Structure 1
Amino acid sequence: MTTIFSKEHLRKRHYDWSDGRNHSMQNNEPDRRTFDRFNGFQVLFIINYFGKSLGKQNIAVGLKVEELISAQLPPDVKSELSVFHWLRGVYLFYGN
């Protein structure tokens, strides 16, 4: 079952939801734009894109990805594209 992961599903509450920072909603895939782990729109975009790429777009995967971004994203991973590639490696390492 495919479920779009939404703001209501997020466990963390530290996200910024300023309208002017919602550039990811206009993109179809991650690019070289700077990723801000505190921008709720970008986090949702990456969660949903990553889940879709796995063929597992559901709440459980979304929560796992949110936790990985929140707790383990290295500071040198700076673009949406690099976050996506990092997630692919770490998600596969920790098992799905």
Structure 2
Amino acid sequence: MLFLKEHLKGNEYNWKNNAIHSFYATEPDRRLFDRLNGNQMLFIINYFGKSLGRLTLRDGQKIEDLILTQMPENTKSELSVFNWLRGVYLYYGN
């Protein structure tokens, strides 16, 4: 499943074009991650779901919630967000 804009629970996102990613051609790197940028949120949710081998609506919304409510402030890059998610999803994810 591809997690889309209409699947996001939050509505406080901005949709600036400077952080658009291809869902299939790129992977997280050292780009600055803005948790309120809807494009980046969709990118990281879909990339993380792909790494899990599955992504449901519930999984995507759980990942969104983790990023918005649990992610440490010092988690700055896409890569650090992805690595942080790998650690916490095992605990909170199921």
Deviation, 1:56, is 1.6
Q: What is the aligned partner in structure 2 of residue 56 from structure 1?
A: 54
Identity across matched positions, percent = 58
The correspondence of residues 8-19 of structure 1 with structure 2, limited to 5 A, is: 8-19=6-17
Q: How many residues align?
A: 93
Unaligned runs of 5+ residues in structure 1 are: none
Amino acid at match of 2:65: E
Are positions 1:22 and 2:23 aligned together?
no
Large movers: runs of 4+ above 4 Å? none
Gaps of at least 5 residues in structure 2 are none
Alignment-derived partner of residue 79 in structure 1: 77
Q: Which has the higher helix share?
A: 1
Match of 1:67 in 2: 65
TM-score by length of 2: 0.91
Q: Deviations over 1:13-38 (max 9, x none)?
A: 0100122x234338511000000000
Q: Give RMSD over aligned pairs.
A: 1.4
Displacement of 1:95 after TM fit? 4.0
Q: 1:37, 1:69 within 8 Å by CA — same for their partners in 2?
A: yes
